[in-house]
Structure 1
Amino acid sequence: MSIHIEPLKQQDAPALFAFECKNREFFERTVPSRGEAYYHYDYFQNSLQALLAEQEQRISCFTLIKNAAGDILGRMNLVDLDHERGSAELGYRVGADAAGKGVASQALKLLLTEYIQPLGIREVQAKTTAENIASQKVLLKNGFFFARLTLRDFGTTAGRGSGG
């Protein structure tokens, strides 16, 4: 499947909201819920504005994973950008229709090759729940390694250092 990633834009709001609503149940099987309010368009729109402001300030980098037709297949984000340390935290989600097809692995590879260096990032960390084996495989396939296991937060933390 041919995919690309592109920065999140205000114009993506209707399609992104539809994607999130369509995949809500699928996502909530493996990650904590975003809460009921998130699935009301006004709240979603306010949240999107906050994300776009963070992106403008270079605090975060939000991207959408799309197929050749421009349909949203998922999201891939770098948050908590620390430009002094050259670090960021990775988050991503792929919709039910794209799951298990290598989309997340391809998108992460694109993110690491196209976005990391221009942002000055040398270290990326990611967290998964202990039972989210698919997500852990995506990370391992892209050069991440298990840094620690914890019962706090999401359950599993992985890191990716420079040159990896």
Structure 2
Amino acid sequence: MATLTLERLRPEHAPAVLAFERAHRAHFARTVPDRGDAYFTPAGFAARHAALLAEQDAGVCHFHVALEDGTLVARVNLVDVADGSAELGYRVGADATGRGVATAAVAEICRLAARSYGLTTLTAATTLDNPASMRVLTRNGFTPVGDTVLSGRPGVRYVRRDLTA
């Protein structure tokens, strides 16, 4: 795997993020709800990107792009930041799956969460039919804490309480 870096989402990432989301739309729709046609229009995407940046500026979320040699290969986000915790979410492009990208990106976001954002706990959830995501979470120190339902599909919730380990 090439060197993976995480960058905090910025306005200038918009073209690459839209291209990434368009290129991998069908891939993502297999495991997470589709964003809907409006998201992929120039106006719809611009509005959503601006809204994400506003949430980030307000401190309630931390959005990141994961780059390999300058190419966007994944997105990694911390949402609903409150009281030292946040919910982790990530998506990896089809051409980057199976190469350790998600594991490396989640490891890095755990370090950033503690070091840069002062977080102590992260939660995450995945569907039961996504064993790759379950492996990513357990490899990064997350433990299962209960069942959940994600978009009508059975899933499991995870937590990682010690981000400094």
Mark yes or no: TM-score above 0.5: yes
What does residue 15 of structure 1 align with?
16
**TM-score, normalising length from structure 1?**
0.93
Distance in 1, matches of 2:113 and 2:157, equals 21
Distance in 2, matches of 1:79 and 1:72, equals 20
Alignment of 1:77-116 (within 5 A): 77-82=77-82, 85-116=83-114
Distance in 1, matches of 2:61 and 2:81, equals 6
Residue 60 (str. 1) matches residue 58 (str. 2): no
Distance in 1, matches of 2:11 and 2:65, equals 12
What does residue 75 of structure 1 align with?
75
What does residue 148 of structure 1 align with?
146
1:152–1:61 CA distance, 2 compared to 1 (3 A): closer
Distance in 2, matches of 1:14 and 1:152, equals 29
Distance in 1, matches of 2:149 and 2:125, equals 12
1:116 deviates by: 2.6
What does residue 7 of structure 2 align with?
6
1:57 deviates by: 1.1
SS at match of 1:115: helix
Distance in 1, matches of 2:16 and 2:130, equals 26
SS at match of 1:97: helix
**TM-score, normalising length from structure 2?**
0.93
What does residue 35 of structure 2 align with?
34
Deviates more, 1:153-162 or 1:124-133: 153-162
SS at match of 1:34: coil
Distance in 2, matches of 1:72 and 1:137, equals 22
1:152 deviates by: 5.5
SS at match of 2:99: coil
1:27 deviates by: 0.3
- Residues 132-164 of structure 1 show CA distances to partners (whole Å, capped at 9, x for unaligned) of 111110000000010101346562211111255
Amino acid at match of 1:52: L
Distance in 1, matches of 2:10 and 2:156, equals 31
Aligned length: 161
1:32 deviates by: 1.1
- Calculate the aligned-residue CA RMSD, in Å: 1.3
SS at match of 2:132: helix
SS at match of 2:94: coil
Percent of paired sites with the same residue = 41
1:92–1:152 CA distance, 2 compared to 1 (3 A): closer
